[in-house]
Amino acid sequence: MDPSALLRAPEDHWDIFCPVVDNYGDVGVCWRLARQLVTEHGIAVRLWIDDLSSARRLIPSLDPSLDGQTVRGVDIRAWTSTFPDAPVGAVVIAAFAASLPESFLEAMAQRSPRPAWINLEYLSAEDWVAGCHRLPSPHPRLPLVQHFFFPGLDARTGGLLREADYAARRRAFSREAFRQALELPPEQPGERMVSLFTYENPALPELLELWSKSPLPVCCLVPEGRVLPGLAAHLGLSGLRAGDKILHEALTVCVLPFVEQTGYDELLWACDLNFVRGEDSFVRAQWAELPFVWHIYAQEEDAHLVKLQAFITRYLDGVEPAVELALRDFWLAWNRGEGVAAAWPSFAACLPLLKLHGPAWSACLQETGDLAANLVRFCKVEIE
């Protein structure tokens, strides 16, 4: 590859800077946004990632040894400490309060016209988000202005990422074909299929024991990830890997290979209940319109529980109090790592009502518009 090609880019391209904090969630959001900007809005995107090895799990064709490569129309670059002399795009997105390289900031200040500079924040359902969305923040030294852009759950925010072909893909999906492709055991009468994509959790053994004693069969699909060591320990195994299928009384555990984003959507659609974590899988669970449990990324002084409660309040607005109480109790028990056994029966009893609630919640979210389209409109119309 011609090294000078790394320094060339269309003048109207967009730069996205993605710091990898939580392995997959951060890359997941940025990779999804980059692809949408390319495929749905015709924008040339250069995606800077500071940990290409982690990104490869979500982008299987990515080669971490290369400083620059194009994957599915997105120009992916290695974000290293020795940052290259690269041309600045018309829009620069710093995801999750990323600190941009000083040399790149200087180049942004010298560009004419100066780029739209966006701080793409984490998703939160808290009330203060609407007041901060789209606010300007001048740089203390350079003639640059950064604007905060918040994903969110209503029209006062930037909305959520959702591809234009999502509904069509969902309609074409076959749960039976999904099971056959993974060589899963035949579905049993009354079986509950659950996906488990979560952080390490001391409550996991308690939950697995509940499922193993269930009067109806439970099939738990577990993508490769951080939860496998704890799962293996509970089952009395030295380890687990993709392809393993373990029968433990009423519970069948099937370990799946880590899947890219389209495959993960299908996993969510196939299940009756989805355990998700972080941000990207959390959003996809809402689009799936099925009952789910959110394991939020833990913060100091339990600040994450405030965010968790804020979402529950919005998500279940108008739902009967007994359902809200059951979900709130179980979600808090799961996130605190204790009390899961006591909270599970009431939560499980409410799953049919939560399944009915899912489509209404999804429709409400769609009224806000897609985050990628809202971001394009903001950068090309409102800032300019």
Cα–Cα distance between 53 and 62 in angstroms, integer?
A: 9
Q: Does 316 reside within a domain?
A: yes
148 and 182 fall within a common domain = no
Which residue among 50, 121, 206, 279 is the active-site one? Answer: 279
Would residue 26 show up in a list of annotated catalytic residues for this protein? yes
309 & 323 share domain: yes
Question: Do 170 and 148 belong to one domain?
Answer: no
Is 295 a member of any domain? yes
Assigned token pair, 271: 């299940």
User: What was the pLDDT predicted at 57?
Assistant: 85
pLDDT of residue 6: 41
Say whether both 85 and 188 belong to one domain: no
Clarify whether residues 34 and 145 are in a common domain.
Answer: yes
Report which DSSP code applies to 176.
H
CB atoms within 10 A of CB 118: 23
β-partners of residue 276 are 294
**Dist. CA 242–CA 330, nearest whole Å:** 29
Structural domain includes residue 82 = yes
- The confidence band for 299, taking pLDDT boundaries of 50, 70 and 90, is confident
- Cβ atoms of 21 and 52 within 8 Å: the answer is no
**Cα distances (Å, whole numbers) of residue 110 to 103, 117, 222:** 11, 14, 49
In whole angstroms, give the CA distance from residue 24 to residue 58.
7
Amino acid 381: pLDDT:
80
In a domain, 222, yes or no: yes
Q: What is the CATH number of the domain that holds 272?
A: 3.40.50
pTM of the model: 0.93
DSSP 201: -
Band (pLDDT 50/70/90 cuts) for residue 380 is confident
Q: Contact 359/224 with Cβ under 8 angstroms? A: no
Q: In the structure, what pLDDT confidence band is assigned to residue 3 with cuts at 50, 70 and 90?
A: very low
Q: Which domain holds residue 106?
A: 14-160+368-382
The catalytic position among 15, 26, 50, 163 is 26
Q: Are residues 327 and 362 in the same domain?
A: yes
Residue-wise pLDDT for 227-277, tens only, equals 999 999 988 999 999 999 999 999 999 999 988 899 999 999 999 999 999
Mean pLDDT, rounded, of the chain: 93
For residue 211, being part of any structural domain is answered with: yes
- Are the CB atoms for 253 and 220 separated by under 8 Å? yes
Q: What is the side-by-side order of every strand in the sheet holding 273-277? A: 245-248, 251-256, 218-223, 192-196, 273-277, 292-295
pLDDT at 300: 86
In a domain, 2, yes or no: no
Residue 4: inside a domain, yes or no? no
- 43 DSSP β-pair partners: none
Residues 39 and 132 placed together within one structural domain of the fold: yes
Could you tell me if 143 and 233 lie in one domain? no
Task: Domain count for the chain, please give it.
Answer: 2
One domain, residues 325 and 178 = yes
**262 with 318, same domain?**
yes
Can you give the pLDDT at residue 5? 42
Q: State whether 133 and 220 are in the same domain.
A: no
**Residue 194's Cα: distance from chain center in Å?**
18
Residue pLDDT, tens place only, 65-91: 999 999 999 999 999 999 999 999 999
Both tokens assigned to 144: 């640059």
Rg (CA), the chain: 22
Distances, alpha carbon 246 to alpha carbons 183, 212, 275, in Å: 14, 11, 19
Q: Are residues 350 and 373 in the same domain?
A: no
83, part of any domain: yes
* E-state strands within the chain: 14-18, 45-49, 68-71, 74-78, 91-95, 116-120, 136-138, 145-149, 192-196, 218-223, 245-248, 251-256, 273-277, 292-295
